[in-house]
Each structure stands twice: as structure tokens, then as C-alpha cells.
Amino acid sequence: MNWWEGFRIARRALWVNRLRSFLTMLGIVVGVASVIAMVALGSGAKAQVEEQIRSFGANVLVIEPIAGQSGGGARLGTLTESDARGIAGLPPVRAAAPSVRGRAQIVRGNRNWSTTVNGTTVDYFVVRDWPLSAGRQFSSKEESSADKVVLIGHTVAQELFQGGNPIGAEVRILNAPFQVIGVLAAKGQSGAGTNQDDVVFVPISTAKRRLFGGGDDGDRQSVAYILAKIVSEEKVGPAVAQIQALLRQHHRLGSDRDSDFIIINPSEAMALRNATTTTFAWLLASIASVSLLVGGISIMNIMLVSVTERTREVGIRLAIGARRKDIRTQFLMEAITLCLLGGLIGLVLGAGIAIAAGRLAGWPIFIGLNAPVLAIAFSASVGLLFGWYPASRAARLEPMEALRHE
């Protein structure tokens, strides 16, 4: 008897006892479905984090001031445009962009939208790897003369212009007229879950003088944060050390004083979240795989019962010339077929659960080729492992004793 013939006999035997066969394979179905769902959700979470890292920009550092106390008053605005220029001059740094920001109502005709207004330089878009979908960037003249020009994010363009062409149109920010000169390409959500496209950008000089300007030169020099793009991933560590040394020197901080700024590497935070999510998903998948072990034990038990019930059938087959190898193959194929069928059902069920959960929670779902192949191969292995003993027991039956069995 070859394996294909054994499969055909096994299929008929399982079909005769359909309900028992289904209940027997239920452990395999649940185990495979659980593993596929967990791996799909974990892989989707990993893909989401990688996309968020790409959307923020590769090898980007965020430098923010730390609010503290200096004498009797608050120490705020410790970062300045001069700091940004110094950072941009460091060897590991490709570009650095100082920024100020605030919330404001932006109006166009009878439509208005509350959004984030970010005052920055053109280097900001180099740091963030953020291209335009239409229009142009700020010019150096517009930056130096504080011209009232604005770049708008994809969401703002949709809300105010509803698919129309915004280039050259006039909008009002805090009652000041601004000309739209460009629309930024869509970025999507950030790692914190905020909409990166719900933003507008104006030259930093414009933001300080016309929108969020302070009352003195110190306020006008200060910035809310600085973004720095590092030339490569290997240079991030040295860049952090050099930026820290430079800013401490700029701010005249002695060795006995704490830094009045913090350097954040968003990629590290996202990568840590990615590692945590992946580990958690694989932990759940490992726990779920216990169902496969339970399913295998259930299959072995049912196969032992089947051998007992069909002892006389085995005796007849041996008496008319069947080899012990053929008997072993027959029962082994029944166990493998049960597991493979359970694996296929579990694969479909697990994919469905993952897709439903992803849509409900707003998570991306990724089901690669490896997980289904491994699930089916593991199911077949469970059938082979737990079906071997019952099949060998059937093959060892003596024909005369088997024929006398009632």
C-alpha cells in the first residue's frame, strides 16, 4: 500500500465517523487558529512600528528643553536657534531644524479648521524625509524676511479645500493672511497615534514675529525643540554625545549642574515597543500551541479506541495478505489526515480572527508565508508523532487473535 492509497482509505474511514473526527481534530483547530492569529497580529504590529519609524524619518534625534528653576524664576526656552546652527555644524549631523509650535484656527472662506502651526526652517523637511505633493518649499528670502507663506498638511488641505487646488490660495491664521505655497505628502499616524498630516508650517521667523512672538529678544531666540538628522545609524551614538557636549558648552553648564535639555531617539522607543509587542505575541502563540499538544494526545486516544473497535477488520486484512506495514500506514495516514485537516481549518479560522481583530482595533495584519507553512507542517508532525503508537499497535496484532475479537 502506498501513501496515496492509504490517504484514500483514511479519508473514507474518517468520513464514516464525521462527528467523532471533527471533535478529535478540534484541539488542532484551536491550536493552529490561535498561533496564526497571534503571529499575524504580532507581525502586523511590527510592520506598523517600522512604518512609523519610516514616517518620522530615519536616524532622527529630538532635542527638547527641560523646564526648571533658576533662582526665583522659571527657566524656560533654554534651546535657541543658535543651538540648532551649532548642532548642524557637527560632523555626524546631516541637518538640524529649530521649531516653535502652537494651536491656531486656520480659515479659508467660510471653512475653518483648528490645527497645529509649526514654525521652522526648510531643513525640517530634510530631517523628516517629508516631500511635497504639490507646490514648493520656503525660500531663504521668505525665511529671513518673515513672509506670510504657509505649507499645509494633507489633512488640512482636505478639510479646507476638499480636493481643490490650494496652491496660491489665501488662508488666515490668527486673522493674519497667508499664501499657500505647498502641500505636504501624506504621512499618516505617528508612533504616539497623532495625525501627522494635521499641521501647517510657516517660516520660523514668521511664527515668532507674527504669530507666537515674545516680548523680548530672548524669547524670540528660544525654540520649542530641535530636530537633528544623523548621517547614519552607526553615528547616532557619537552624535548624541557631541550634541550633549555642545549644548552644555553653549548653556555654560558646569560639571556640577544637570543638563537643561533632553535628547530623545524616537527610533529606540519605537524599536523597544516593537520588541515588546513581538515578544508578547510569540508568548501568546507559545501558550496557544499547548492546544496542539492537547489535540495530539486526543488524537492518540481516539486512534487507540479506533484500533480496538477495528481489531477484527485488521485481522481480516492480515489474513488475506495485507502486510503489517500496510496496517501501520493505514492508521498513520488517518492520524495525519486528521491533523492536516484540522490545521487547514485552523489556518482559515486564525486568519479570520486576526483580520477581524485588526479591523476592530485598527491594527495592521500581516500573514506571511512562513506561519501557514509552519502551522501545516507542525500539524502533520503532530499526526505522525501521536499516531505512530496506535498505528504500530494495530500492525502488531496477530491475525488469529484479531479474528476471534468480538
Measured CA to CA, the distance from residue 123 to residue 9 in angstroms comes to 72
Per-residue pLDDT tens for 59-81?
889 999 886 433 333 344 688 99
Task: Print burial letters for 78-114: b (CB count within 10 Å at least 16), e (below 16).
Answer: bbbbebbebbbebebbbbbbbbbbeebebbbeeeebe
Determine the pLDDT at residue 74: 35
Other C-beta atoms closer than 10 Å to the C-beta of 196 total 22
Q: Could you give the 3-state DSSP secondary structure of residue 231?
A: coil
* Inside any domain, residue 130: yes
- Same domain as 241, residue 100: yes
Residues 365, 187, 352, CA angle at the centre, nearest 5°?
Answer: 10
- pLDDT score of 150 more than 90: yes
CA distance 81 to 34: 53
> Residues of the chain with pLDDT > 70: what percent?
79
**Of 233 and 17, which is predicted with more confidence?**
233
Query: What is residue 151's three-state secondary structure?
Result: strand
In this predicted structure, what is the pLDDT of residue 3? 57
Ramachandran class of 55: left when φ > 0, alpha when ψ lies in -120 to 50, beta otherwise: alpha
Q: What does the pLDDT average to over 139-149?
A: 89
400 within some domain? yes
pLDDT of 218 reads 47
Contacts of residue 218, Cβ cutoff 8 Å, sequence gap at least 6: 77
**pLDDT over 50 (residue 157):** yes
Total number of domains constituting the chain: 2
Final residue of a structural domain among 259, 283, 302? 259
For the chain, the C-alpha Rg in angstroms (whole number) is 34
Residues 20 and 165 in one domain: no
| Assigned domain for 59 exists | no
Q: Would you say 324 and 399 are in contact if contact means Cβ atoms under 8 Å apart? A: no
| Average pLDDT of every residue of the chain | 80
Is the domain of 352 the same as that of 205?
Answer: no
Q: Are 47 and 182 contained in the same domain?
A: no
Pairing of strands 261-264, 60-65: antiparallel
Do 88 and 115 sit in the same domain of this protein? yes
Rounded distance between C-alpha atoms, residue 90 and residue 97, angstroms: 13
Phi, psi of 173 (to 5 degrees): -120, 120
CA torsion, points 155, 159, 163, 164, in degrees to nearest 10?
-120
Comparing 50-59, 218-227, 316-325, 365-374, which segment has the lowest mean pLDDT?
50-59
In this structure, what DSSP letter does residue 177 have?
Answer: E
Q: Which three cell numbers stand for residue 384?
A: 505522525
Q: Which of 259, 292, 315 is the last residue of a domain?
A: 259
How would you classify residue 256: left for phi > 0, otherwise alpha for psi between -120 and 50, otherwise beta? alpha
Same domain, 370 and 250: no
Of 229, 259, 289, the one marking the end of a domain is: 259
User: 212-241: per-residue pLDDT in tens?
Assistant: 765 444 456 789 999 999 998 888 889 999
Q: Are residues 31 and 83 in the same domain?
A: no
Q: What are the CA-CA distances from residue 224 to residues 125, 212, 250 (Å)?
A: 17, 11, 17
Q: Do 279 and 248 fall within a single domain?
A: no
For residues 250 and 296, membership in a common domain is answered with no
* Residue 167 neighbours by CB under 8 Å, 6+ apart: 134, 135, 180, 181, 182, 183
CA–CA separation, 336 and 384 (whole Å): 6
Does residue 268 sit within a domain?
A: no
Ranked by mean pLDDT, the top range of 20-29, 245-254, 355-364 is 245-254
Closest CA to 45 of 286, 287, 282: 282
**219 shares its domain with 130:** yes
Q: Residue 295: how many CA atoms within 13 Å on its side-chain side? A: 34
Instruction: Provide the grid cell at 167.
Output: 496652491
With respect to residue 265, please indicate whether it lies within any of the assigned structural domains: no
Indicate if the pLDDT at residue 97 is higher than 70.
Answer: yes
pTM across the whole model: 0.61
Decide which of 242 and 216 is more confident: 242
With residue 203 as reference, give the H or E element that holds it.
strand 199-203
57 is a domain residue: no
Q: Which residues form the domain of 395? A: 3-52+273-404
- Residue 68's SS3 state is strand
290 and 398 co-located in one domain: yes
Q: From CA 314, how far away is CA 327, in angstroms rounded?
A: 7
Q: Is residue 380's pLDDT more than 90?
A: no
The reply to whether 266 falls in a domain is no
